[in-house]
């Protein structure tokens, strides 16, 4: 029987690490700063390309690095690529200049060949990142520090798709037989699920999935040394426990603060809360195209009438939802687009005050006795999603719409939209590329091929489809922005979305710790500073 204290060895290793760090860089604080970080869920895997999922990327950003990074204001920053531009002679080719002198945690030198390997791995199924690289035809290394990515056509915004595509070592992947992303169906666990070798600022020390993950600063990292030298990451799924752990001093930062606790935490001594807008809009949408609806008691499709869609917009009291349901923690707007995304304008943001009288007239003009319809809503996906739906049911009840709320878990809700089995639903949408095209591709374009996967409205406008497709290849950014504005005008005029608000994020932390809210909810512990 062998006894071994895991934390014992960890501590020894840590001290050794700190000692070497102190010898190597005098700028590193001599006392190790440990940051205990809690959020609701754990990363699903440590494989860099397997899952396209927020918490997974957030943790992996500390171990692996991407070519370009996303700053807290939404702009792109150099990471493993020092520069990127469209090729002078061929506008279908993106050129990436790779940073020199970067090493992986296990000592391999980063070259263009690793980048080529990683992009190929990321764009090949079963990688979860493949859809973001669907337009890529070929990735080549021109020399040791230059990579060319050739796309099917001109793609002026392709670089925006790279903020979550990590670079791994080709040599390491080949050595461990993990040249492709893990395959769910293969029935075997891949080496890369629990082992890592990135170029990132932290190295993996210990991981028990869903229990704790310990990261230690990587002394060979190319960038300035972060103030945090050790990260202990613990998922705590229960909201009350998560907040209690912060109040009792067992964790330093809580990432997913429940809305109802924000005000109380702000008044607590020793704890501070930072907030910021998240890149995620919450809106209602409806089948506005079919002849008839399955769940309504009238003979035609009420949502096909522009008057009914207008009436619903007039009945929705966004400010009431903000105050009562969200406790002030939301940004109401008329269009489903966060302010920092390309294509956003003040006019799209502005919404009218509710006018119940006018809305009732519009409804009774077509249906004197009103009508009934089912509303589908998730109850475990977005902040207070079910309560938002309940609020809408009440508001629509006042204008003669008898809405029957069906709220259920996310795994039952989303297939309804995917399979066109819902007439009226709630959906939240984030824009990871920070460009309106992403919204149009998935939500507005007719459902065909890679387009329209979440277009539950069945909306189909050939003219608009052509404009949307042109966005992908238009290299003149001014003309492109004009097209985006034109598409938005049409979308808003047709009232495809009944937008409620943009979600807000809140991080709570011990006083003396500074961390900004990241719009993609991917905070970097390298940016943490201590007072």
The yes or no reply on residue 410 touching other proteins (CB under 8 A) is yes
> Phi and psi for 347 in degrees, rounded to 5?
-65, -40
Among 48, 69, 128, 226, binds other proteins (CB under 8 A): 128
Q: Which is nearer to other proteins, 51 or 342 (CB)?
A: 51
- Count of Cβ atoms closer than 10 Å to residue 19 Cβ: 12
CB of 225 to other proteins, least distance (A): 28
Quickly tell me which residue has 């591709």 as its tokens: 441
Q: Which residues pair with 65 in a beta bridge?
A: 167
Interface pick for other proteins out of 93, 115, 167, 190 (rule CB under 8 A): 190
What is the rounded CA–CA span in Å between residue 516 and residue 264?
20
Q: Which of 247, 320, 387, 405 binds other proteins (CB under 8 A)?
A: 247
What is the rounded distance in angstroms from the CA atom of residue 365 to the CA atom of residue 302? 12
- Cα distances (angstroms) measured from residue 435 to each of 16, 73, 196, 269, 440: 46, 14, 32, 40, 10
Query: Of the two residues 154 and 432, which places its CB atom closer to other proteins in the complex?
Result: 432
Binding mask 452-491 for other proteins (x = CB under 8 A): -xx-------------------------------------
Nearer to other proteins, 271 or 395 (CB): 271
Please tell me whether residue 449 binds other proteins under the rule CB under 8 A.
yes
Which one of 22, 44, 393, 405 is in contact with other proteins (CB under 8 A)? 44
Binding status of residue 245 toward other proteins by CB under 8 A: yes
| Largest pairwise CA distance in the chain | 81
Residues 3-32 that bind other proteins (CB under 8 A): 3-7
Cα 89–chain centre separation: 34
Among 275, 447, 458, 510, binds other proteins (CB under 8 A): 447
x/- contact string, 75-114, with other proteins (CB under 8 A)? Answer: ----------------------------------------
Contacts of 365 (CB under 8 A, 6+ apart): 307
Using left for φ > 0, alpha for ψ between -120 and 50, and beta otherwise, residue 423 falls in: alpha
Binding residues for other proteins restricted to 417-446, rule: CB under 8 A: 418, 429-430, 442
Q: Which of 78, 107, 125, 270 is the binder for other proteins (CB under 8 A)? A: 125
How would DSSP label each residue in 140-188? EEEETTEEEEEESS--TTGGGGGTT-EE--HHHHHHTT-SS---GGG-S
Closest contact distance (angstroms) between CB of 453 and other proteins is 6
For residue 307, give the 3-state DSSP assignment.
Answer: helix
- Binding stretches for other proteins (CB under 8 A): 1-7, 41, 44-45, 47, 50-53, 125-126, 128-132, 182, 184-190, 193-194, 208-212, 234-238, 240-241, 244-245, 247-250, 380, 409-412, 414-415, 418, 429-430, 442, 447, 449-450, 453-454
């Amino acid at each position: 029987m062998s006894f071994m204290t895991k934390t014992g060895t960890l501590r020894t290793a840590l001290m050794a690490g700190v000692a070497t760090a102190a010898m190597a860089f005098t700028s590193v604080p001599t006392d190790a700063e440990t940051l205990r970080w809690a959020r609701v869920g754990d990363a699903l895997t440590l494989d860099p390309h397997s899952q396209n999922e927020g918490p997974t990327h957030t943790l992996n950003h500390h171990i692996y690095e991407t070519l370009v990074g996303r700053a807290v204001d939404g702009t792109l920053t150099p990471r493993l690529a020092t520069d990127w531009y469209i090729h002078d002679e061929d506008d279908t080719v993106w050129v990436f200049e790779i940073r020199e002198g970067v090493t992986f945690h296990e000592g391999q030198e980063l070259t263009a060949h690793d980048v080529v390997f990683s992009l190929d791995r990321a764009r090949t199924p079963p990688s979860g990142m493949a859809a973001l690289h669907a337009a890529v035809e070929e990735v080549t290394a021109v020399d040791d520090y230059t990579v060319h990515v050739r796309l099917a056509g001109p793609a002026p915004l392709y670089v925006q798709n790279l903020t979550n595509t990590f670079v791994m070592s080709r040599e390491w992947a080949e050595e461990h037989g993990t040249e492709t992303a893990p395959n769910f169906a293969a029935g075997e666990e891949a080496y890369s699920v629990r082992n890592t070798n990135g170029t990132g600022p932290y190295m993996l020390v210990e991981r028990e999935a869903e229990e704790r993950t310990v990261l230690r600063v990587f002394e060979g990292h190319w960038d300035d040394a972060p103030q945090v030298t050790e990260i202990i990451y613990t998922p705590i799924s229960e909201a009350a426990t998560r907040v209690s752990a912060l109040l009792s001093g067992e964790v330093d930062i809580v990432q997913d603060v429940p809305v109802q606790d924000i005000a109380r935490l702000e008044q607590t001594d020793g704890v501070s809360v930072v907030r910021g807008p998240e890149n995620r809009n919450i809106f209602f949408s409806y089948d506005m195209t079919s002849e008839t609806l399955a769940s309504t008691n009238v003979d035609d499709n009420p949502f096909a009438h522009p008057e009914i869609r207008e009436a619903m917009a007039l009945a929705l009291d966004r400010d009431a939802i903000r105050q009562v349901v969200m406790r002030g923690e939301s940004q109401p707007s008329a269009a489903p687009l966060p302010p920092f995304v390309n294509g956003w304008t003040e006019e799209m943001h502005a919404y009218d005050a509710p006018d119940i009288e006018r809305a009732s007239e519009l409804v009774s003009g077509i249906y004197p006795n009103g009508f009934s319809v089912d509303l589908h809503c998730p109850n475990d996906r977005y902040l207070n999603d079910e309560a938002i739906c309940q609020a809408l049911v009440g508001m629509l009840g006042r204008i003669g719409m008898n809405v029957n709320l069906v709220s259920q878990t996310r795994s039952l809700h989303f297939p309804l939209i995917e399979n066109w089995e819902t007439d009226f639903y709630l959906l939240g949408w984030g824009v990871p590329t920070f460009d309106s095209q992403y919204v149009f591709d998935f939500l507005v374009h007719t459902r065909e091929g890679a387009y329209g996967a979440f277009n539950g409205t069945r909306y189909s406008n050939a003219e608009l489809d052509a404009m949307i497709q042109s966005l992908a290849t238009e290299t003149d950014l001014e003309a492109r922005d004009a097209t985006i504005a034109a598409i938005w005008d049409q979308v808003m005029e047709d009232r495809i979305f009944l937008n409620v608000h943009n979600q807000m994020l809140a991080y709570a932390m011990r006083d003396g710790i500074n961390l900004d809210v990241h719009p993609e909810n991917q905070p970097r512990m390298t940016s943490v500073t201590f007072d």
